[in-house]
């Protein structure tokens, strides 16, 4: 035990300073840390397959990934999406864009319509399309 106490202390390197004040760490730009800013179609398919295999709500999670990818939705837009914004009969999705506030209408295609129909059958009483199932519908 005495050997541990007698070890010399190493000084930590001093953080960089500007005008005597410690400068906060800088974030590396995305272009330096990643080769691209998007997922490929194959990567999205693999992500959906993995989601389907996890937990009892795999279909919901895979559908969420599909809709987010195909329509470039932010997380806040996904969790705010309600069934009254999804028109499965005509194949349209009405999105209230959060960042710029301009709503938009998106066409839904076969795989999306089938996945959403199945999701609606699984959770008919829940008003939000991708609701957390820990919260009871009102």
* Among 32, 121, 119, 108, CA closest to 73: 108
| 76 Cβ neighbours under 8 A, 6+ residues apart | 98
pTM value?
0.71
- Which domains does the chain carry? 39-122 (1.10.443.10)
pLDDT tens per residue across all 138 residues of the chain: 555 566 667 777 776 776 777 777 788 787 777 787 888 999 999 999 999 998 888 999 999 999 999 999 999 999 999 999 999 999 999 998 877 778 999 999 999 999 999 999 988 888 999 987 665 544
């Amino acid at each position: 035990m005495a050997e541990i106490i007698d070890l010399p202390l190493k000084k930590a390197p001093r953080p960089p300073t500007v005008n005597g004040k410690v400068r906060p760490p800088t974030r590396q730009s995305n272009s330096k840390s990643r080769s691209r800013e998007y997922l490929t179609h194959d990567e999205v398919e693999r992500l959906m397959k993995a989601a389907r295999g996890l937990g009892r709500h795999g279909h919901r999670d895979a559908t969420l990934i599909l809709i987010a990818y195909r329509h470039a939705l932010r997380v806040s837009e996904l969790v705010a999406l309600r069934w009254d914004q999804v028109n499965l009969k005509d194949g349209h999705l009405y999105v209230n864009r959060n960042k710029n506030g301009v709503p938009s209408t998106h066409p839904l295609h076969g795989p999306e319509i089938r996945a959403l129909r199945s999701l609606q059958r699984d959770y008919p009483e829940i008003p939000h399309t991708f609701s957390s199932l820990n919260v009871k519908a009102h």
